[in-house]
Structure 1
């Protein structure tokens, strides 16, 4: 389309740009073609209805204006993306350079594209300053497609001419050779320079024959397999059959198109007496596939060398059997039934694949193409069987099927959910893990995903057509680094990581995609447990520091010297450390009371540990109760080693506990009793150890602490409340954690 003509002189009071901007919308709509107008900065200011139709969008002319073009995207004719600021309209606006009949590809918002023929001209004011530019464009996609088809057909025609299996040449009205294809030149042994441009009569061995041929063709007669002899470059004579017709324009003979079929071999093989027999024998023996003739009973009448080689049998042996005899028994009935129908005339021909057995026991696969030869009245004379050995192809097919099955088995064996789709997103395969993960049996043909429902990690619904697999197919790219949540029909939700990957054929075309869904439920649970453990650790560290601070303060207030403080504080700190070690080994889970007592008492008692009796039902203390009990037991044990029963070689220590069920709660009652040690006298003042134990039991655990200095040995009774179901081995003991 040519550029827009200037407006008449009478309208020049306004510049072309101003006149177009001021024109009514119907004025641009009246232009037979898509038109749009940009200002001197390239902003879209006007466009007609046809432009909007071509773009399939109506760009805003207000605040959300677009620059240089209203199309969604632009591309060069070769498919290279073209930024709007680099398009011809931008060039016209910025430099004033026009575009005449340029081609550009415009893409619509829906992804469809069309080829546009654009004509762009800058619009200037009366002083020559660029005010904007106008673009008139047409959709020439159909023309481009037609051009492509014409080029393809021309190429096909040229290929047909040049690479035809038989000779082809064109001769003008004067008998001069204009063109000749490869087969023609190869037939006669000439180069194109030696053959083209010379008179056709120079190559014919018989002048009367070529004269008759040219006469017939000049009169418009058609030649069909006209016999002739041509002289080859090496002096040999080629027997050919010429099929030709003439081309006329306005009644004038222009040229002929001649097909030259080389029949030299057939001609030389012919003989008056055995013409048919010799020609057929040559065909039989020259063939690389098996050819056989059989009577109505299947007995072989004639075989060629190829079939003898295929079956590993001599010609003489084959001519004494039927083709059923060498067929594998399981395949005989199919061949027999089809052959019988062919003899009766129910089938003109048939094809089947069957197995045959060689004398050495090996098996071959044969593709059979059977046809009939009948007399003029339709009576069956014999069957012609063309046989091809497809053993290698069959083995290859089997290997391909095995590989495919192996791949399916591998996918089935994967612990992760795997499924595939075609290019449109329809599911073509899924493994057992995919069905188990989704909690349903997906149907082949379902779209996008095997799951029932999908959600984003924040819990918002995720439509299937926006899931990672749909994105991978739509954008033809692998999607990584995203998470989603699958909901099963039973309501259970499973967090997972998808790995959708497009699949392409050998030419790079998208043919489908494969997706692997990794269940990350355990990882999410581990992350939650880790957060909980970190919170718990922070809490424990704070409590431990507070305990250590209290130990420092109380030990310092009652220490007689720095050395006494160091010894007492170190002993108590080691007790706290042992409790922490025990809880750390159990990952700060509940600790058995009997194990806790042994962990505290055995290191302090040393050799006297064999005189310690520990007895009581299985009770588990939570970490808080375990720490408090550890501190109390450490104080009692330290006193027993220094001053009490464990100081004497005859002293004994008993630590026993029991559970007492009350109406509102269950109590753990523990008794510490020393015997056989030095005589015991009540202390003159209450020591820091007593205060520490009392604080651990009464204030920290809400229990009761009673320490009695009997003459026969120290006796300490501890009672703390525990949960109502904290019986032997059934649940943790001790107050609820802080």
Structure 2
């Protein structure tokens, strides 16, 4: 059963609008978001500091009033100006309906913009009449930027499909062409309306081939450079290779994605090469590589046609030269040294890559394999040199190397930790961000992960061979939607989200994996702060409502009439509000005792600071203790202003506190002593002020109160323990 007496309810219940308008300013400030209220005509009547911060201005509620919104300027999301009279708040006030997730662009006075998401609820009285509306809005600019980034990526993907240099088409599970890019249409010479919508088999020359392709894809098999022949619109035959895979949804074959590469020219070139080989089979063993013979000085004594072509010289020209003559000067020494050893019998064969210059100045890369023909006594007779033009492969290697270096540079530049492993989970690469996240320098060859130790998101130990990267490699699948924590050698924990993804070669074989570890420390801290703030807000609102209820009931019980109740209740509410204001200015963090004392007394001094002595060691109070002590001191100050030392010009006040050690704890002794004021007469009965001070000190702070009405001035000793309520602040 409650021991609190119920205060008689007013004649009529307050509507939501009346309650919000009449509430303390701290009510809106306590809401974790930007909030403002308009009346039934749209006039702005209340707003909190977060709304003012987002608007970049604080509207004047008493002078030139504003309607519907306190923003400097409104725009629609497409950039068109939006009059305040047409904004979502205006529509809600006029219609009496709620507005959910309305988006508008707000311009601040300094010219900056942000996108706001507004949620508006109409406020009605008990008969359903609209009295106004409340708008809770937030800055979603970052979210909008993310949406634009997704849209840009979608456009990039669309551009990749349509403008790819390789033919690309999508075929349904029934074999119908659903989509084709420009390269595909250009390859076969069809306009889109004559190609899309038809069965793919209509364009294949060989029915068994397309049948095999569709069967393989329907069974989930991937195709890599599958050879086929397609019939173009003009009747010509295109030799192509098809790379394709299938898409399944819930185990059902949906469609295929096919890359079609035109190999017609290569096919024709290959056929010509084969015919050339057949024609040359009668000469020099039908060799397709350059073959030459050289004497012990390096002079060429025989060359085939391929050799001539590679060096861009006729047979007659080459037979007048040594192989040093066409070799680039920088590459001659290696070939000459090895050849001299071969002539001398130290080597039977050797290989070298070198550069040769053609008559037109073109430089080619040649792989040379040199062997020796000896007589029966082992003396050198001549050398056989087989050469192969590897210019294209060398340039390709250079490009691949450069591409790999660019990729490494890109991975190094990423702000997220990225590392790769081979198929067995051994680390093959890591960037600087990995070192920063792990707090250590990993070693190439480490197993599975670059971190020192791992834990699950719940804090359970996670062995490296069971980490997300290990799962991705062992199960050959990407791992998403998990969180983990990495422990650094110094003991700090870093929460992160991993994105391990298997890597495959062209044949689909698993060759390794890449993992990106995104540090989510700030996100976790923000989540914890938000939870703490909500819990603290709930606690403070309950405490404040209980305090307000107690103030009302106790004031009513000791009041002589309605006017007396109103005066006393308003003063005590203002005292409570002042206590909340003091803590709000410090963001509800710990407050120094000296700061609270001076803030409470400042309105009563009126410049007579010399009449007040404030002295004591540095002590910091937590928010709960600060609120209770502020209310107690406010009662003492109010009494002093009305009856005591502050009611006359000569009155003085001494407010001194000190620390006192006992066997079990440290106590704060705070002494309020009024002097040279009007003569003090002890009251006939204890008033509510005395009861309020007693409750704040004895119940809230677990302390003791000694209140003495001495003739020369009121004396009050407040004693409470240092512990959960306060702490000693070091000097300096």
Q: TM-score, normalised on structure 2?
A: 0.50
Larger Rg belongs to = 1
TM-score computed with the length of structure 1 as normaliser: 0.50
